[in-house]
Amino acid sequence: MNNKADRIIIFDTTLRDGEQSPGATLNVDEKLTIALSLARLGVDVIEAGFPYASPGDFEAVQKIAEAVGIEGGPTICGLSRATEQDIKTAAEALKPAAKKRIHTFLATSDIHLAYKLKKTRQEVLDIVPEMVAYAKSLVDDVEFSPEDAGRSDPEFLYQVLERAIAAGATTVNIPDTVGYLTPSEFGSLIKGINDNVPNIDKAVISVHGHNDLGLAVANFLEAVKNGARQLECTINGIGERAGNAALEELVMALHVRRQYFNTFLGRPADSTEPLTNINTKEIYRTSRLVSNLTGMMVQPNKAIVGANAFAHESGIHQDGVLKNKLTYEIMDAESIGLTNNQIVLGKLSGRNAFRSCLKELGFELSETDLNKAFLRFKDVADKKKEITDWDLEAIVNDEINTAPELFRLELVQVSCGDNARPTATVTLRTPDGKELMDAAIGTGPVDAIYKAINRVVNIPNELIEFSVKSVTAGIDAMGEVTIRLRHEGRIYSGHAANTDIIVASARAYISALNRLYAALQQKGVKEEIPQTANV
């Protein structure tokens, strides 16, 4: 594929750049779960991580390369700085993948050269071809990024890209690293590269951009019009600072407005062929999965996947939609996999019916995970009259995609009221198997629960975010709780769902504390756990 191709490559960096969102740290199993979902979604390239950054990242990239990078699957990519050790480590992690790519980068803006790299332009011109050639000796598919290209001198940028391509780069990525450019500027930058890099026809032009000014998606669409054929994006737009260009917004913009974009890709204007390989019906489920595992909630008014994206409150809008959806909807909710179907399941439903419904929703569970989810389903079915597909998603995500169970909640009980002092009693099983009970008074029931849990767990932390939302409408709806807490500058997230939001709140907090405790164990820090109750 070159820059005259009539299809857009979707390069997903949720597991690399997306994971750099504060508090979005994922363990190896969670990364693998997301990677499998991205493969079902149909992304062309999965940037699985930065192998040299840590043993955990190396292991995640290696496992994803082995389990997801199978024949016929997506290309698995590993990031590396332009150094031999980084590149060698990336190649080692990627070995199991059928299609592997090394993505190496070096800054080119004067501000980065002067203050970060402390190198001259000539030194960069010497390093880039040497490192790209080294990467090329290890894998066939090499991508090069001139970091902070958006603020680089265009003439110098052209020289760097020409040398990278001559050394074997098959993709050259143009990052707006700090989210500085406007759409017209980004479009002009891509056009300039197409017009002034002599060997640009031998590589695909890719774009990467951050959303600091809220322009990332608009910038990418303008880049497409000027010859970019790979888009580097993340699910829900997560990433450093204000995030990255959102995959779901880019894909649906190209899907809904393909007649507009067709001509820029050399197609007949009326062509109905998709512009990407994405299975759009997997978008919503992938969005929910990433949100649950990272603890990064999707705001209700978020384009495409927000709770209000297909909601209508205005009487005029409601009337129009009832008469014809096209009056106020430019896309069908079902096109992203969002339905309002009621799953006909209840407390008398059997395991096979439950498995069948999950399969229809796209969940393929092992026997062990199916048993866990089925037991939880039975518990919810005893409390709810109707089980929706959203309820089933919440059950699976809460039961299967959980943090390591180090501390386990055995009991939570609260007493509160307008003339009472909110009091909570909790019983936890500690990592060494002891069952401990404690109680505390708080400003409200949740505050009391968290204070009681902290007295047992004894790990200093600061709660910085607490949010609750209902999965479905109705008084018996399941409530989803997401919390984020901070310890020594790092943020850890927890998520849980239950028909009782008090229970969900306690489980979410335990989930986050388990992530924190696991991180402390990896660092060899021993936190003292009380040996007796403090009631």
Tell me the mean pLDDT in the region 213-239: 98
Tell me the mean pLDDT in the region 111-130: 96
pLDDT higher than 80, residue 120: yes
10 Å Cβ neighbour count for 388? Answer: 21
Helices (H) and strands (E) in the chain, counts: 17, 16
Q: Identify which has the larger pLDDT, 3 or 186.
A: 186
Residue 485 three-state SS = strand
Look at residue 288 in the predicted model and tell me its pLDDT.
87
Distance of CA 8 to the CA centre of its chain: 20
Domain residue extents for the chain: 9-294, 342-400, 408-522
Classify strands 100-107 and 141-147 as parallel, antiparallel or unpaired. Answer: parallel
Classify strands 423-429 and 435-441 as parallel, antiparallel or unpaired. Answer: antiparallel
Question: How far apart are the C-alpha atoms of 448 and 96, rounded to whole Å?
Answer: 49
Tell me the mean pLDDT in the region 26-31: 86
Question: How far apart are the C-alpha atoms of 325 and 32, rounded to whole Å?
Answer: 38
- Mean residue pLDDT across the chain: 88
Question: How far apart are the C-alpha atoms of 45 and 78, rounded to whole Å?
Answer: 10
Residue 133 three-state SS = helix
Cα–Cα distances in angstroms (integers) from residue 26 to residues 154, 210, 349, in the given order: 37, 21, 34
Q: Which residues contact 211 (CB under 8 A, 6 or more apart)?
A: 179, 217, 237, 239, 242, 243, 244, 245
pLDDT per residue as tens digits for the range 463-518: 998 988 887 767 777 888 988 889 888 888 888 888 899 999 999 999 899 988 88
Range list of H helices, 43-153 = 55-67, 84-94, 110-112, 121-138
DSSP result, 396-457: HHHHHS----SSEEEEEEEE--TTS--EEEEEEE-TTS-EEEEEEE-SSHHHHHHHHHHHHH
Look at residue 419 in the predicted model and tell me its pLDDT.
85
Quickly state the pLDDT bin for 530 (edges 50, 70, 90): very low
The tokens of 63 are what?
């496992």
pLDDT per residue as tens digits for the range 177-198: 999 999 999 999 999 999 999 9
Domain 408-522: CATH superfamily, name plus number: Alpha-isopropylmalate synthase LeuA, regulatory domain (3.30.160.270)
427 close to 436: Cβ distance less than 8 angstroms = yes
Instruction: Pick one of 3.40.50.620, 3.30.1540.20, 3.30.930.10, 3.20.20.70 as the CATH number of 9-294.
Output: 3.20.20.70
Tell me the mean pLDDT in the region 427-453: 93
If you compute the radius of gyration of the chain from its CA atoms, what whole number of angstroms results?
25
- Least confident residue range of 49-63, 223-237, 300-314, 430-444: 300-314
pLDDT per residue as tens digits for the range 236-271: 999 999 999 999 999 999 999 999 999 999 999 999
